[in-house]
Amino acid sequence: MKTVATTDHYVIEVDEKKNRILFTMKGSWTSTKAVPNWLEDVKKALQLVRPGFTELVDWTAVGAIALTDYIAAAQDLAMKAGLRKAARVYTSERFLKIQMDNLTEKTKFPVQSFFSHEDANAWLDKR
């Protein structure tokens, strides 16, 4: 596992063996000042995977997000780089999940939602 970036608001890691990017989102994403290097860090991670890669996005430690445009931009970068599919993990069915589901409808991001890391990883591991 290779760590690409660690901040107060996210950790980005790459599992080169599985060809997977792991995003651990944290805190409240309410200001661009809180995540100034987000898209650059996403681009760094994308350089370490091959087309057909997967993503695991852990939203279990996020309080609120107002920066959905930043998430949409990262999704666009991933799809252009050859993303096969992504899994999001939440603690429960709450506003954040609904917010991300609405964004997915707009961006057509190939993602499935889960409430456990085990289920998300099992789904991602299936071809």
Q: What domains does the chain contain, in order, with CATH numbers?
A: 2-121 (3.30.750.24)
CA nearest 92: which of 122, 121, 124, 60?
60
Cα–Cα distance measured from residue 115 to residue 60, given in angstroms and rounded to the nearest whole number: 9
**pLDDT tens digits, residue range 6-65?**
999 999 999 999 999 999 999 988 888 989 999 999 999 999 999 999 999 999 998 878
What's the pTM?
0.90
Q: Which residues pair with 85 in a beta bridge?
A: 54
Determine the pLDDT at residue 93: 64
Determine the pLDDT at residue 25: 95
Q: Note whether 12 and 4 are within 8 A (CB).
A: yes
